[in-house]
Every structure is written in structure tokens, then in C-alpha cells.
Amino acid sequence: MRRSRSTSLAFTLLIATACQGAIGQGYTGQGLTGDWCGNRDWLACQGVTFDLDHAHFGFGTASGGLDERFNYGGHGDYVMNADLGKLGVQEGLFLKIRAEHRWGESISNDTGALLPATVLADLPIADSEQLYITNFLFTQMLSETTGVFFGKLDTLDGDLNAFAHGRGKTQFSNIGFVASPIVLRSVPYATLGCGLVVLGAEGEPVFTYTLLNATDTADSAGFNELFEEGVSMSAEGRLPTSFGGLPGHQLLGVSWNNREFVEIGQDPRFVLPNVPINRVDGSWSVYWNFDQYLQVDPCNPKRGWGLFGRAGVADGDTNPIEWFLSFGVGGNSPVRGREADTFGLGWFISGTSSEVGTPLQALLGPIGDGQAVEMFYNWQATPWLNITPDLQVVMPARESTATALVLGVRAVTTY
């Protein structure tokens, strides 16, 4: 089913118009469309909640890169969560459905970098504006802290970090700060799989093991391709810390994929041509990240700011990025009255594999290591609208391409 951006906007605005008397009257949520004439609260009491938003990206390459121009694109995200225990189906059973689509053009091909500067604007399928279901995931809790999950899932929520994550729509926009890029080769974006999760005292995952189909099936149900080319496995442990009496986390993860790699395939999380490489069985990565608060709001322990960092290594025979390092600062605004605003400043460097880089050089010219700096300020204009000015300085791995100065604004409307 293909749904245009204008159709999605018309649908949400129709709800807002029909229920305008209910908006702001007894509804405590944050969405533009309010309580849907009381139905949203009623559904939540039955165990069904909705998170709906549009992210708009107006970004341009002011200088350098491959093309100096301004592009507009966006992403629609429609998530439903259902507590099937409250619905009388099975106690402890939960269902998550995510449908998403993109529209317009992103600046991924203009900067000359291997990593997209606005990754969400290219997901789930870079050259399609069709609506795709990327999550149809069941989770069965076996106890208060342990559960199993199975179904179709997307992996963008992995590699969690308090200050550098947010799916590319609430914090940084560049994939280098949304997740560790070295994992992307061995872990598909959206596919069928299953796994185990262990929750900590705060309800956040402290251990996750995932077994996935080896290839991406964001554009299909995936049953015909299930394990046809192998399996992908990943495991992450994320433990809370309290250095200096302030909260933080340390995450260590590994991934492995046993499919046969014969080419660099198209992937919206990379900006790479589809070129053949030496035939190699399997790919792996090991990655680490941390977040550490330096200041916490005494009135709200979930707000504050601090440091973050990532590092990792991967199989250079199959992965275009063999090692990665990033560091930065982010969190909630320390300005009184603007505590809901967030900010971030980060730097990363990605080491290009000499093995994969060699066939790329035939098309792209000399290849070195890529770097980027990103700075953003996320202003909460209303409870349902966040506007984020963003500046990036991108030093592409393509040595013949000049450093790109990227300027843009991201606007996220929550319905």
C-alpha cells in the first residue's frame, strides 16, 4: 500500500479538526491531535497506545561536498503498542507494530561521505516512498525482568545511549551518532528474528540477545527469505554506573553474520555504490559505548547533561568501516525555563577498510578515513513540535572531495 505524505498529513489533521474541542481539555498527552474525543485515553486503559510523528528535514550543503544545494525530505513513523494481557489474550504478552515511510530527497549523496548526515530521511528504503511495516514484534515476559521476543523487528533502537541515539529524530541526525556504524554490515535494519531480553531495576534492558535473518527484508514479510542466506546474531550488555554519585551506563556488544558476502549491497544506512568484493563467508563486529551524566536536575533525575562516547572494530574483509571512534556532550538544556530543550555536540572518525576500500577506489577515487562534527539544539516549540537547527562539518573518506559544511533544520511533529 502506497501512502503519500499529503495523505498522511490530511488524515492526522482530520482527526485534529474533528476532535478540536477535546484537545487541551482533560488530555495529558503531547500530541497535536489530542485525546481523539476521549478515545485515546480509553484505548490506553485497554492497553493500546499510539506514537505517531512526522520528521521533516530541510538540509543543504553550503560548501564543499559533491553538490551545493538544499534538499527537503521527511519520515513518517507510526507505532502501536498493545498490552495483550489487558486485552484478555495472554498475561505478559505485548505486541509492537511500526509502519514507516520516507519522502522527498535527503543530502546523503551530496556530502560525499560514506555515512548519511540525516539517516532517518533515507529509512526504511532509500529510493521508495511506500509505507512499510518494519516491526510486528511479540514480547512474552516470563517474569518481571526476563522476556522473549519474536517476529519482525527493526534494529535502530540497539546500541542505546542516553545522549547519542534517538533514532535520528530527537538527538543527532548523522548515523555516526545514532548508532555505531560498524554494526550495520552484520546486522540488517529490519527483518524476522527472535531473542531474549533481561531488564534492570529501572526497566531498561541490561542484556539482549538477538537471532535474526541474515538479510534485510524491510520491504517484504520476509518468510520466503528466512535464513536462506544464513543468520545474524548480536548480544549487548548495558550496565548502569554511578561514578561520582551520578548516573551513567557502559555498553558492550558483539555481532556476527554468517552469510556469504560477494558485494557491497545497497543499504540506506551507508552511502555506497553496489560493487563486487572478494567472496568472504561471515562478518563480525565488537563495539562499546558509554554515557555519563555530569549534572542532574535535582527536581527531575531523568533530566541533565553529560558525556558520551563510542568505539568499535569490525571485520575489514566485508565491512567498509573497519574501526570507529566518537565522543561528545549532550543532554537537556541547563537554561532555566528551557529544561525540555536538548542539545548535542559530537565528533567521530571512521576508519575505512583497506580491503573493501580497494574496489571502491575504482569508482570513487582515493579512499581514506572519514570524520564529522555535528552540533544541534532541539527547541521544544510546543508540546507537539520540536524544531532543531543543525550544523555539521563533514570530512568525507573520499580524498578528492572537499570538506562539506552542512546546514539544516529538523522539525518533528508528534500527533
pLDDT of residue 246: 95
Spatial separation of the C-alpha atoms in residues 342 and 376, rounded to whole Å? 8
Give the whole-angstrom CA distance, residue 158 versus residue 118.
18
Reply yes or no on whether the pLDDT at 199 is more than 70: yes
Helix (H) or strand (E) holding 231: strand 231-241
Contact predicate 217/194, CB 8 Å: no
DSSP state of 398: B
Per residue in 164-181, pLDDT tens?
Answer: 999 999 999 999 999 999
Each domain of the chain, given as residue ranges in start order, spans 1-45, 55-414
Q: Is 104 left (phi over 0), alpha (psi -120 to 50) or beta?
A: left
To the question of pTM greater than 0.95 for the whole model, the response is no
Angstrom CA distances, 64 to 107, 110, 291, 363, 396, stand at 13, 9, 32, 19, 10
C-alpha cell at 49: 497506545
* pLDDT score recorded for residue 23: 35
Burial class of residue 88 in the structure, from the number of CB atoms within 10 Å of its CB (0-12 exposed, 13-18 middle, 19+ buried): exposed
Q: Does the pLDDT of residue 7 top 80, yes or no?
A: no
Q: What is the pLDDT of residue 266?
A: 66
Q: What is the pLDDT of residues 266-290, one digit of tens each?
A: 688 888 777 776 777 889 999 999 9
Give the residue carrying C-alpha cell 528551557: 338
Q: pLDDT tens digits for 74-132? A: 999 999 999 999 999 999 999 999 999 999 999 999 999 999 999 999 999 998 999 99
SS3 assignment, position 5: helix
Quickly state the pLDDT bin for 16 (edges 50, 70, 90).
very low
pLDDT tens, residue by residue, 285-336: 999 999 999 999 988 888 999 999 999 999 988 888 999 999 999 999 988 8
Domain 55-414, CATH number (from 3.40.50.2300, 2.40.160.180, 2.40.50.180, 3.40.640.10): 2.40.160.180
Q: Does residue 357 surpass a pLDDT of 80? A: no
Within 8 A by CB and 6+ apart from 222, the residues are 152, 191, 192, 213
Confidence of residue 58 (pLDDT cuts 50, 70, 90): very high
State residue 163's pLDDT score: 97
3-state SS class at 344: strand
